Structure 1
Amino acid sequence: MDTLLNTLQNWPSWLLWIIFLAENTAILVGVLAWGNRLQRKSHHMFAYTRRQWRIAAVTTILNTVITYAGYWLWTQDAIRLTTAFSGRILLDACFLFFAMDFLMYVFHYVIHKTPLYQLLHTLHHKAVDPEPIDLFILHPLETLSFGALWLLLLLLFPLNIYGIIIYLIINVIFGMTGHLGMEPLPANVRQWPVLKYLGTSTFHHTHHRNEQCNFGFYTSIWDRVFHTFNR
């Protein structure tokens, strides 16, 4: 990993832009493909509109900008990475998971309770019953705001690169799950001691149908703490 990171610093910017765009495009395609695979089991398939594809493409481009911004901050030593195989991998992944969960809860709640809702968030909430592509149906300023929260967190102190990768994979999985439009987990499984506190598809689907509850992303912890939780 050290060799790869050192190599990245020597690659031309145009090549990095292509790589980062390909990475974010692969995430978009992967989410839609896996979402449709799960949907086939429930005999329901999505047909996305040209408008949805255009907005998703813009979101993918902006995510590429955020990725490059993170790379640039790293080259300036503002973002510091460690590469050791140690307990820090799991620790940093957990830190990012819970810290981002809290920050996104606060940001999401503020959006819903202020004029920012009309400016930024109505686009996403046009989907009362979300589909996998709705993960990428966001106002450009909202996409950049979430990206800014992520980059600010990375600026705090050195983080393990493997922990970051684990968190990013989990982030995509939760984003896709929250916008499936169906629940892949049986009701009794969702009540298991740990799973009952996670942001399942049902949890986020309920938010799309009732915008006064379930503002969390990965967990329902903050909704339970601040009394905005709805089963």
Structure 2
Amino acid sequence: MTLAILLSALAMTLIVGVRYLLASAGFALATRVRQPGLYRGLDRQIRREISWSLASAAIYGIPAGIVAWGWQARGWTLVYRDVHAYPIWWLPLSVLAYLAAHDTWFYWTHRWMHAPRPFRIAHAVHHASRPPTAWAAMAFHPWEALTGAVVIPTLVFVIPIHIGALAVVLTIMTLMGVTNHMGWELFPRWLVEGRAGRWLITASHHQRHHQEYRCNYGLYFRVWDRLCGTDKGLGRFDRGG
């Protein structure tokens, strides 16, 4: 049993690490094509981002691997395979529930991370990326990585979700983490500056957080920032931001 748990944790760590490398490499390549020279002179920073991110992959992968083993071997969690186990309308609603719960946890832990002591001990690692790049999505100090690593493994014990819907959540989590740090806006202006953009977070919104620190703490949605008065709108894209 112990060996099976260790192998599951190792496998999940590899999955998280490879997923990060593929996603970040893909959007770094897109940056080279769409914004040539944007990352020029940042080779040392990028190597540091990759190192921190691969360490974070293990911190994310180990609890996920243990929970995955428990789900398959012991029937832990509320993850289900039969699409008809719950009403079909629950599929999209469960995705939204996970994103909303994750966003809430992220907002409040992220805001706490900006208190002087947690920032100095942990969160400064992430903000050392100036400007952030597509490789910075998981560039966290281990203590900060741990706060993020517990979210999904906890939610699968609380909120039922189909395995396919969970894959959608993890995909959105990866893509938003990478694209919000690229240093340029991937999404069209009509979305970012339109009605949907008033509630959704994209690179333009998160960029301002990296410029001013004390604002725009959300991950997917601007709801908590708006409710708590920490939303300062969209940022600008210039070197050093």
What is the TM-score with the length of structure 2 in the denominator?
0.83
Find the aligned partners of 2:18 and 2:152 in 1 and give their Cα distance: 20
Change (3 A) 1:152 1:15: closer
Change (3 A) 1:110 1:21: closer
1:195 aligns with 2:190: no
The CA RMSD over aligned residues, in Å, is 2.2
Percent identity over paired residues: 20
| Residue 70 of structure 1: aligned partner | 67
| Residue 148 of structure 1: aligned partner | 150
Q: Residue 96 of structure 1: CA displacement? A: 0.3
Of 32-41 and 13-22, more deviation after overlay is shown by 13-22
1:54 aligns with 2:56: no
Q: Residue 186 of structure 1: CA displacement? A: 3.8
| Residue 172 of structure 1: aligned partner | 174
Alignment of 1:118-157 (within 5 A): 118-157=120-159
Find the aligned partners of 2:160 and 2:171 in 1 and give their Cα distance: 19
* Alpha-carbon contact 1:88-1:163 (below 8 Å) kept: no
Change (3 A) 1:91 1:188: closer
* Alpha-carbon contact 2:201-2:218 (below 8 Å) kept: yes
Q: Residue 17 of structure 1: CA displacement? A: 4.1
3-state SS of 2:96 partner: helix
**Could you tell me which of 38, 52, 55 is aligned with 2:30?**
38
Q: Which runs of 5+ in 2 are unaligned?
A: 234-241
Alignment of 1:16-27 (within 5 A): 16-27=8-19
**Could you tell me which of 219, 222, 229 is aligned with 1:217?**
219
Of 70-79 and 121-130, more deviation after overlay is shown by 70-79
| Residue 84 of structure 1: aligned partner | 82
- Per-residue CA deviations over 1:188-219 (Å, capped at 9, x if unaligned) read 33123223311110111110111110000011
Q: Residue 185 of structure 1: CA displacement? A: 2.6
- Per-residue CA deviations over 1:131-189 (Å, capped at 9, x if unaligned) read 11111210111111111233222221432222211111111111011110111234333
Give the residue type in structure 2 aligned to 1:67: A
3-state SS of 1:84 partner: coil
Change (3 A) 1:65 1:17: closer
- Per-residue CA deviations over 1:60-81 (Å, capped at 9, x if unaligned) read 2222213213214434444221
Change (3 A) 1:136 1:128: same
Give the residue type in structure 1 aligned to 2:96: C
Find the aligned partners of 1:189 and 1:157 in 2 and give their Cα distance: 30
Give the residue type in structure 2 aligned to 1:16: S
| Residue 29 of structure 1: aligned partner | 21
Find the aligned partners of 1:18 and 1:140 in 2 and give their Cα distance: 17
Give the residue type in structure 1 aligned to 2:155: L
Q: Residue 25 of structure 1: CA displacement? A: 2.3
Of 111-120 and 131-140, more deviation after overlay is shown by 111-120
What is the TM-score with the length of structure 1 in the denominator?
0.86
Question: In the comparison of the two structures, how many residue pairs are matched?
Answer: 222
Q: Residue 15 of structure 1: CA displacement? A: 4.5
Q: Which runs of 5+ in 1 are unaligned?
A: 1-8
Change (3 A) 1:87 1:212: same
Find the aligned partners of 2:188 and 2:20 in 1 and give their Cα distance: 26
